[in-house]
Amino acid sequence: MRAADIASDLTTVLVTEEQIHEKLGQLAAQVESDYEGKNLLLVGVLKGAVMVMADFARHLTRDVAMDWMAVSSYGSGTKSSGVVQIRKDLDTDLHGWHVLIVEDIIDSGLTLSWLLENFASRGAESIEVLALLRKPEAAKVEIDCRYLGFDIPNEFVVGYGLDYAERYRNLRDVAILAPHVYA
């Protein structure tokens, strides 16, 4: 689904699918250089990072391991609650791995901050973050994001894995959701 298909639900397209793929290709090249000769584990944060993780991994030309973790701090609302709930833990023991957390978006940073602390206690060789999107104005904690796609305004966005009440994840672009949809 493209933004034009649901134009009445959106106000502005911030990033197109084509821009996303170009950026993921650039980030993949950087990651390959930085992790040459290292055991790299991509950890996707469900559900939002599914699209980013899949497309990023396909841009890589090396073998990597992948695992998934499901945490939530949103529920069905449009603002982070700040309370992290683990819904699915990792299957992989992090000892001996260089972990790259793959995120769809860094909003308040609270969930990611919690994840970084949690993973640090599990014995990973290193832990870095790749995020497609970041909302600098929404940050409540500072996150060192080594690999960043795009900074976006502090608006409620959907698409490319990002949802509102489990809808719009399959939108190929990232766009601001019109307030009449969730008001």
So which residues are the catalytic ones? Answer: 107
C-alpha to C-alpha distance for 49 and 19, rounded to whole angstroms: 17
140 prior amide bond cis, ω within 30: no
The answer to whether residues 129 and 120 touch, using CB atoms and an 8 Å cutoff, is: no
The residue count for the chain:
183
With the C-alpha atoms ordered 22, 156, 170, 87, is the resulting torsion angle positive or negative? positive
Ranges of beta strands (E only) in 24-137 are 40-46, 65-72, 85-88, 98-106, 126-134
Q: Which residues contact 5 (CB under 8 A, 6 or more apart)?
A: none
φ, ψ at 2 (rounded to 5°): -105, 165
Instruction: Calculate Rg over the CA atoms of the chain.
Output: 16
C-alpha to C-alpha distance for 25 and 20, rounded to whole angstroms: 9
